[in-house]
Structure 1
Amino acid sequence: MLALGAVVTVGLLVRVDDLVHWRKRPELSFHDGIPSLTTFDGYHYLRYARDQLQGRYTRRDSLRLFPDGAPRSVPPPLLAVTAAAVTRVSGVRLEWVAVVLPALLGVGAAFPLYALGRRLGGRSIGLSAAAFLVLFPYYLRRTSVGRFDTDCGQVIFILWAVLSGWTFHQSRGWKKVASAMGCVINAVAFLLWWDTAAHVVFLVILASIVVPVVTTLDRWKETVPSAVGLVLIIALAFLGIRPDLTPGRLVERVRGDFVYVTKADAGAFPSVGVSVSEQQRLGPMELLREAFGHPLVGAAALLGLAALMWRNLPGFVLLLPILALAVPAFWAKRFAVFLTPLGALGCAFFFVAWAERLGSGSRRPWLAIVPVGLLAVALGFLTNQAVARTYYPVVPGPVCSAMERVGTETPAGAVIWTWWDHAYPLMYWAERATVSDGMDHGGFRSVVSAVPLVSQDYRLAANWMVFSVVRGPQGFRRVLARLGDIKGWSVIKKIMALGPTGARSILEKQRLEPVDEWLRFFFPPQSQRPPLYLYLDQRMIRTSFWWSWFGTWDVAGKHGRHLKAQLLDLVDRQGRAVYFSHGRWADLETGVFRSPTGDENILLSKAYHWAHGRWVERDFGRDGPVLELDTERRWALLAEPMFFGTLFNRLVVLAAADVRHFEPVLLEEPVFQLWRVKGDLPDNRPGS
């Protein structure tokens, strides 16, 4: 146990090491001494934990997916319950609990993996597997400090599920009853932990109980009835907690996950999985490097698993529930977290079994030092790799402060329009409603959210946002159901761009009658409109590759356009030459943007330079990208012409708005901007 304690200690130290680097760069990690999180989704669970502490946790979340809201899990997610309980008992600030808890839970998976490895191959196998798991880079990343998401506990629960299912079938008498209780407790805890994937939890738990039956067919008269009984008990417990977990709903959720993970055709609107970084598909070598730190370590893991299957097939079969969760990693790297315990067992078997074979069955037992040495080298490599990497918060301190200001500068009941990855932090810091978020940002909702950002028309953008927050997704679907997806989408855009006066003729042409009622539908009266604001910041430039694709989505052709924009750090200006980071520079007289080596020149169409309180335009009379630079704030943007004309660029970079539709509230460049959105009223007046 001392050796296992040492493994856990090392795993914890390489995680907590990030905090040392955070302290050195507090502007990236803290605001007012409060730490930020390293994942956007963490703020979802953090807000739920805070609501429990403040007695505000209700069955419906009015801040999510405005105007409809979203149902909340009852009981609350176990991650949020745990954080709230720790804060309540210890008095430690909730944000600090959310930062440290993932690291503690992450190394906690070493215990069940040690027990599983010990059963499969002995103490050395279990200990080595635990060491590899806590150091594998992808598992480390998903369980680092600040990674307040369900990943930090999922591996623990799946390992305990496999162990408890195995123990249940191996036990008799009172031990069988005790192990059955352990199975039920772990299953219910797993369900409450991974509340967004109840169907996955049920199938995994089902597999962990049924699979061991295959390895004990000689006792099937005993194992089959007991397995059926245990499955029924767990199924009833699940239905008691989640009555919606019916067979039909189960199939529907599995199908939805398949479309999301494989990025299959989702109909008229795109599969959003293609845009989420953790859902990206990696090649085999990339996946091995991502999960295990190096392809050679990955190769050792695969060879070790093959050796386990050869030497102990029944034991390998018991790992099938974990393997079932790991297979989707070949379509979405997020599932690589489930590859890590399998890879850890594989590496342990590769090195330890090799050493044991040389030590006991060879004429030169001293050769066992070779695999032992390679084991030490592999663990040393992973440790060095772990210490060398630092995972900083995704929302820097100044942005957290800005989001708090959004809460103070907007009235209660206000709605904030932004891209979905900002939604959870905004709901936490500003306590204001948003229209899409990290849990529900399907293709249709993502396209609706992005259209205003890429719009070349202020009026269209403002009217679109107002219509969306008043009528909701069902408002769009009402039109699409009436006119069809392709025609309906085009008609909605035309109506929003023309305003009430111009829209009347379109409504008459499309026979949307009575026309006055449809005008009030598309342009709701002021009494129906919540205060609406648009939140933008520079980080959205880095995500523009995807939101521009959604915003330009062609419903007929089923494709969008990735608008290219690159944020540059301005270093110096000397006359006509402007120098940027990484050795790049531009000649403002000739309109040539040059690479560091000079072998790649980009011919600019225009350049915009902020000087003496205004933008100065220089037209080079040709097609090409546009360069926008601000020597006062020392940054620049290189973008294609279509991106230059977007609402996002006009507001964030040029700060040029049609105040009839976008009224500035907070302009704190380069950190963030907040604009009041005012769409047209039915009588063609701008909203207030």
Structure 2
Amino acid sequence: MFETANGGLRQAVVITLVAVCVSIALRCVHVKTWNQRASLYYYDGNKPLVTTMDGYYYLRLSREYARGDFGSKDDLSPIGKKPQPFSLLPLLSASVHKVSKIPIEKIAFFLPVILSSLMALIYVAWGMVLGGPFLALASSIVGGSVYYWYTRTCLGRFDTDALIPVFTYGIPYLVYKYTKADTFRAAAPWGATAILCGIAFCLWWLPAFYASPVLIIGTYAISIFAYNRSKTERILKLCVLTAGCITSILVILSYIGLLPQFKVFRPLIGLLSLVTHSAEPAEPSISASISELAPLSLAYFKTYVAGSWAFFVFSTSGFLMLLLSRKKELIFLTIPLLAGFMSFFSRRFLIFLIPLFALSLGYFLHTSGSYLRRRYGPASAGVFAILAIAITAFSVGKRAYTTFIPPRLTAHHVAIAKAVNNGHLPSELVWSWWDYGYFLEYFTEKRVLIDGGSQGGIRPFVAAYPFVQENPAVAARWIRFFAHHGPAGIHKINRYTGGTEKTVKLLEKIFSSPQNLPHLLVIHSFPQKLDWKKYFFPESGKVYIFLPFEMIPATYWWYYYGTWGLKLNGGDPAQALILPPGTVIDGHRGVVFVNQKQLPLASLYIFRDRPEPTLYLDRYFRSSGLLAIIGKRGSYIMTSNLKDSIFFKLLFTPYSVPYFRSIKYIPEYGGIWEVLDGPRG
């Protein structure tokens, strides 16, 4: 089992089947928990929710593909267009639905689990090359059990992550087989398969339009240091490698500002800026607010990947052993390894580092087993193999086995969203924070201002501003204005005010006192030939605002954007938490204990939902400090600058906010309101 690199086809098939079964079983063990909480996590009887908000985008595309709608226009998304010619993930789910008649929602629920198990093919393929059957078995079981990988491929995680590392490590393997073949006739099938996989990768994941050519051509060029069939091939590889190095240097020089940003390089420069958080645009930084773009720390790697410091050390040792003994083979993994090491700038790339961790850890165990076999014989090596795989898989995978990952939103939120689903009406729009855009597009079938694919530029500020606004009239008129004009409306006014901050202040004055509009237009030299009253107070279709209680812990995020326009050096700080069960609130001393810290309270409120939802002041402690709210489902604490915000008022006093008419509200889950053009509608 430890003796050779490579191995028989029968062994590879058996190992792959075992690894696939372990991977699927590890994830499907949580089906029981889903069923136990069916009233929260299933809607319309038996349709499961997805666990990632991006999943609702792919669900919507799946639904449209199943209806035969492959057009490029997207009437619901702010971007206004769909992937062309199609997106492979929703096409796959729609095709399975049409053939099997299984609801798309159930396909979306199980598909990531099945697709992620295909990583076993990669571990077995590279494991056989690097060490043999034991390395293939150990790395495939460990790699499929890593907690971070589990979080990206669990039940309901309807996203593209499941196959991204399959393509990223699989294409170099095909190039390896192509390059190592003795004759072109033997190499051609491998090369053709690599090209087909590259095309499929492009259809699977949008950034692969850049990644696929790099994986195929770049890996082929780098293989000049490993295998060359002829002098001509060596020269060809050298030319390609030189061109690639020059291009990389030009991109880096453009990125750091020593060269102009050539149009062809802009997507790559934008990616580098996002990953390294180096962009300083006129608007708030997007990358700085997205948790998966945060840099990777060793402590995070230990917790989410290795499971313990011991296995981190073993894996690092295994990688060094691979560098010493398998140089030629590792050359073909140069690009995936570079992508993996980018996770130290951005955790989003951690899915590329996990296969390296698993293969390195497997190689360490393989080397240890080989030593035992030589020293003590096959019996001791066999015992070691069983114990090593069992202990390693348990240590690395125990958190995945015991951790249930629920959907972000529940069936109650679905009921709230569907309360305004009266069919697609182009003039209607639902306003919310960007996390919920895809969810609302799917369940309301209405336009949104912002979603997970349109959070650039000024749009996040425009979306978040009404949440922090204290004047209901200003918030409502702001929403109706931008629902009609989009974020471009702010740029048009900037021509006359001279900048975004001045525009925001002008809009506040206009929306709070419409009668002063003529005077304000004169002050700012607006041309009189246009009907500015109609522009600032457009007659548009119905506009709704959707707010879930789930937004409370994300206050730091949207409040930063919502206050940015008032302070260009950054948004005002605000914090809010949904307190975990068992949190102690000392009503006598006016303190709350969070994470072993004692936090002072300014006041304590009771949230009651009958006869109608409202807040009652229970105790006042001091002039400064946090607000605490005790509800039926949970308790909440927040900084005092949230108390007068529209967000706070709508969630805790949903029926008494002027300009906002409640359509559906479920206490401590959230609600949806129609945004009116007057205090009484």
Q: Which TM-score tier does this pair reach, normalised by the shorter chain?
A: 0.7 to 0.9
Partner SS, residue 582 of structure 2:
helix
Flag structure 2 segments of 5+ consecutive residues without an equivalent: 1-12, 244-260
- In structure 1, give the amino acid aligned to 2:641: M
1:112 corresponds in structure 2 to 122
Which of 431, 443, 455 is the matching residue for 1:429? 443
Aligned CA-pair RMSD: 3.0
2:667 corresponds in structure 1 to 669
- In structure 1, give the amino acid aligned to 2:32: V
- TM-score normalised to structure 1 length: 0.87
Q: CA deviation at 1:635?
A: 4.3
Does residue 651 of structure 1 match 2:665?
A: no
Does residue 267 of structure 1 match 2:272?
A: no
Which of 130, 135, 153 is the matching residue for 2:145? 135
Task: Label 1:619 to 1:358 Cα distance change in 2 as closer, same or farther (>3 A).
Answer: closer
2:411 corresponds in structure 1 to 397
1:560 corresponds in structure 2 to 571
Which of 132, 140, 143 is the matching residue for 1:122? 132
Q: Please, which moves more after superposition, 248-257 or 422-431?
A: 248-257
Does residue 544 of structure 1 match 2:543?
A: no
Q: Please, which moves more after superposition, 411-420 or 89-98?
A: 411-420
- In structure 1, give the amino acid aligned to 2:203: L
1:93 corresponds in structure 2 to 103
1:53 corresponds in structure 2 to 66
Q: CA deviation at 1:586?
A: 4.2
- Aligned partners of 2:193, 2:241: CA distance in 1, in Å? 11
Does residue 500 of structure 1 match 2:511?
A: no
2:432 corresponds in structure 1 to 418
Partner deviation per Cα, 1:386-419 (whole Å, 9 max, x = no partner)? 2211122222222223322231499664210011
Q: CA deviation at 1:606?
A: 6.2
2:220/2:237 contact within 8 Å kept: no
Does residue 44 of structure 1 match 2:42?
A: no
- Aligned partners of 1:107, 1:599: CA distance in 2, in Å? 42
Partner SS, residue 359 of structure 2:
helix
1:280 corresponds in structure 2 to 294
Q: Aligned runs of 1:138-153 on 2, under 5 Å?
A: 138-153=148-163
2:135/2:362 contact within 8 Å kept: yes
Q: Please, which moves more after superposition, 268-277 or 221-230?
A: 221-230
- Aligned partners of 1:128, 1:61: CA distance in 2, in Å? 45
Task: Label 1:408 to 1:199 Cα distance change in 2 as closer, same or farther (>3 A).
Answer: same
Partner deviation per Cα, 1:88-110 (whole Å, 9 max, x = no partner)? 11111111111111111101111
Task: Label 1:59 to 1:423 Cα distance change in 2 as closer, same or farther (>3 A).
Answer: same
Task: Label 1:568 to 1:301 Cα distance change in 2 as closer, same or farther (>3 A).
Answer: closer
1:199/1:250 contact within 8 Å kept: no
2:640 corresponds in structure 1 to 641
Task: Label 1:315 to 1:627 Cα distance change in 2 as closer, same or farther (>3 A).
Answer: same
Q: Please, which moves more after superposition, 44-53 or 112-121?
A: 112-121
Q: Aligned runs of 1:456-605 on 2, under 5 Å?
A: 456-514=470-528, 517-524=531-538, 526=539, 529-554=540-565, 557-568=568-579, 581-587=581-587, 592-595=590-593, 600=598, 602-605=600-603
Task: Label 1:162 to 1:25 Cα distance change in 2 as closer, same or farther (>3 A).
Answer: same
- Aligned partners of 1:326, 1:97: CA distance in 2, in Å? 30
Does residue 14 of structure 1 match 2:26?
A: yes
Q: CA deviation at 1:531?
A: 1.4
1:190 corresponds in structure 2 to 201
Q: Aligned runs of 1:348-359 on 2, under 5 Å?
A: 348-359=362-373
2:655/2:662 contact within 8 Å kept: no
1:486/1:556 contact within 8 Å kept: no
2:590/2:603 contact within 8 Å kept: no
Partner deviation per Cα, 1:232-287 (whole Å, 9 max, x = no partner)? 9xxxxxxxxxxxxxx95551111111222222233221222222232233322212
Q: Please, which moves more after superposition, 278-287 or 328-337?
A: 278-287
- Aligned partners of 1:373, 1:164: CA distance in 2, in Å? 33
2:626 corresponds in structure 1 to 625
2:7 corresponds in structure 1 to none
- Aligned partners of 1:189, 1:491: CA distance in 2, in Å? 50
Matched positions, count: 646
2:251 corresponds in structure 1 to none
2:425/2:446 contact within 8 Å kept: no
Task: Label 1:599 to 1:321 Cα distance change in 2 as closer, same or farther (>3 A).
Answer: closer
- Aligned partners of 1:18, 1:377: CA distance in 2, in Å? 22
Task: Label 1:509 to 1:582 Cα distance change in 2 as closer, same or farther (>3 A).
Answer: same
2:295/2:346 contact within 8 Å kept: yes
Task: Label 1:597 to 1:14 Cα distance change in 2 as closer, same or farther (>3 A).
Answer: closer
2:65/2:94 contact within 8 Å kept: yes
1:320 corresponds in structure 2 to 334
2:249 corresponds in structure 1 to none
Partner SS, residue 543 of structure 1:
helix
Partner SS, residue 387 of structure 2:
helix
1:12/1:107 contact within 8 Å kept: yes
Which of 17, 26, 41 is the matching residue for 1:5? 17
Task: Label 1:596 to 1:165 Cα distance change in 2 as closer, same or farther (>3 A).
Answer: closer
Which of 26, 36, 47 is the matching residue for 1:24? 36
- Aligned partners of 1:555, 1:597: CA distance in 2, in Å? 32
- In structure 1, give the amino acid aligned to 2:42: F
2:252 corresponds in structure 1 to none
Q: CA deviation at 1:190?
A: 0.3
Q: Please, which moves more after superposition, 111-120 or 444-453?
A: 111-120
Task: Label 1:298 to 1:180 Cα distance change in 2 as closer, same or farther (>3 A).
Answer: same
